[in-house]
Structure 1
Amino acid sequence: MRTEKAEADWSRVQLHIVTGKGGTGKSTVAAALALSLASQGRNVLLCEVEGRQGIAQMFDVEPLPYEERKIATGLPTPGQATPGSVFALHIDAESALLEYLAMYYKLGRAGRALDKFGVIDFATTIAPGVRDVLLTGKVYEAAKEGRKKGTSSKQGAHYDAIVLDAPPTGRITQFLGVNSELAGLAKVGPIKGQADTVMTLFRSPRTRVHLVTVLEEMPVQETADGIAELRAAELPVGAVIVNLVRPQDLTPEQLSAIREDTVDRERIAADLLQAGIGADDELIESLLTEARDHAERRALEDSQRRVVEQLDAPSFELPRLAGGVDLGGLYELAGALREQGLR
């Protein structure tokens, strides 16, 4: 379902950051968004920073090294000769720091020696803000024009769009606000300079932060709180993507009849018999119990949908896939995003 507020121009956005409460399917949505963007003929880099190798699992490929690799091709689009490709990158702070030292300070072997003795892991553990600067700094580096050849991209590849599967909503403002994280650690120097540079991208029109939710009270409230925090930090909010939406095959009148227990049981029995199914009272009551549960769930979802519509952000809906999410399911979700205009 597409709301009236979904009329937004996403063509100028290069960096799409996807966050959401745990369990809402943010990683799935990030992958589907990357495929949707690729269907427009763009070459897309899909990044993850949480160390779970979720991209490899979703696309059914080998665990990703610290190297940009092609993992999929976008959906063919009528009138478009060639869809773009989706590349993936698993970013970890240690590899990002080693690449940074090698590219800008020529510390190839020396950097690896630091890693061997645990210095890098110690530094990023004792100063978590530094870890976030390294992770976000790599995303910034991937978005640059005229990239240097590095460890993750041996050719200095340029991407038309980048999708970042980011940390959950509760930590997203802290993760993206690398300047405030470093306030007590570094007032000057290269790390502080990199944080300043990263923030210019994150706060620019080239970036949007999309929030994934489901139609339940706690995730929707966390989404509302996340939007408020992002805007307070001057970070650009993109869309609210409602995931795992149940089929809406029953009309409001039918749902009302189910909740009020005014359903014609004889009609149900006749329909079952016509389908060749024995229609005893126990089966009919069992079906009505399931129907009542569904009707109550739909009422809850409709109430939360109204809350989402008041969040002053474009919103999109993705269906709950009956067979779960595999590569085919990702393409289906990508098609839904494309049709609704998030591309």
Structure 2
Amino acid sequence: MKYVFVFLEIFSWEGGIQSYVKDILQAYAKIVTQTRNNPQNYLDPARVLLLRDSPGCDNPFEGNPALKFYYLKTLPPWVGRLKLAIALLLQLLFRRPQRVFCGHINLAPLVRNFCKILRISYTVLTYGKEVWEPLPPRYRQALQDADSIWTISRYSRDLACAANDLDPQKFELLPCAIDGKRFIPGEKPPELLDRYGLRGARVLMTVARLWSGDIYKGVDVTIRALPAIAQQFPDVKYLAIGRGDDQRRLAKMAQDLGVSDRVVFAGFVPTEELPDHYRVADAYIMPSREGFGIVYMEAMASGIPVLSGNDDGSAEPLQDGKLGWRVPYRDPDAVARACIEILQGGDRRCDGTWLRQETLTAFGTDAFTRRMQQLLGVSR
């Protein structure tokens, strides 16, 4: 079976989409290895076309025999787009793949036009808010004509369908994955407690962009909940990890509420340092509206109880409230009550060992690979 993947970029930018795509490629490579001795289900090495990545980028899959990469970044950008179109057309004409996987809605019209002419199936991979609003006609048509659409959650599927008149039956769910070897429980790192002044504190934590355009992340709601939480737990502090232009407003809010001494803005934290930062927390708090919310899984895999909004894609990682607290995402009183419950303990959702086991069973990399096998129609 031959497949072609087409992406904007994977390795020159960090973000949720890029992380998700890396999980897809890693799972594909595993499946190729597993099916190597099964001629009925053998997967040919996939061709991966990358519009905005350059040779020499930090690609952990470089040299993997299951994946062959084509780096097409060229200046001016229109030349790169032309190179992508030519490379894709050549792949379709000479390799005749069973399916093309389009990794972003911005590439979908190009993929749709070539595949429809050559009668090749194509699947559009969607992640979140890029398809939650009404799209221009040619992008909407590309989704409507796709043989299937993969997305990360029921919430993301339902918003995309409502906004763009899509058939829910075309959607397949491929939730995000969590690497249980990276995010593991452990003692609070003393050096981080000292860095942020958190010794002896009960720590609530959020990892989010602090941009004025992303206030839906709920950092401001958590700050407004702090006075009520502090009445029950005078030692509570709130560690906000992330950077952005909204930090000044948030700091002013904390000062006006009299909790500035309880709010610590950590700024940007490199990806490799995040696992240690989760272990600082007693609870992960993000009353947000997410397409999925991989940060909740990172926390739960680290044995940390979580709070999310109750009207978004976090229903998937929290398993509709089985694994965590889900509250109205702009309601500081509801956030405060839930935080107090979490810090009091006693609820099974505070059992870090159980949380980790349930999370990895449903969303670990092995579960992700098995789901991809199902979607590709491959048996081991």
TM-score range, shorter chain: 0.3 to 0.5
| Higher Cα radius of gyration | 1
TM-score (norm 1): 0.37
RCO higher in structure (CA 8 A, sep ≥6): 1
TM-score (norm 2): 0.34
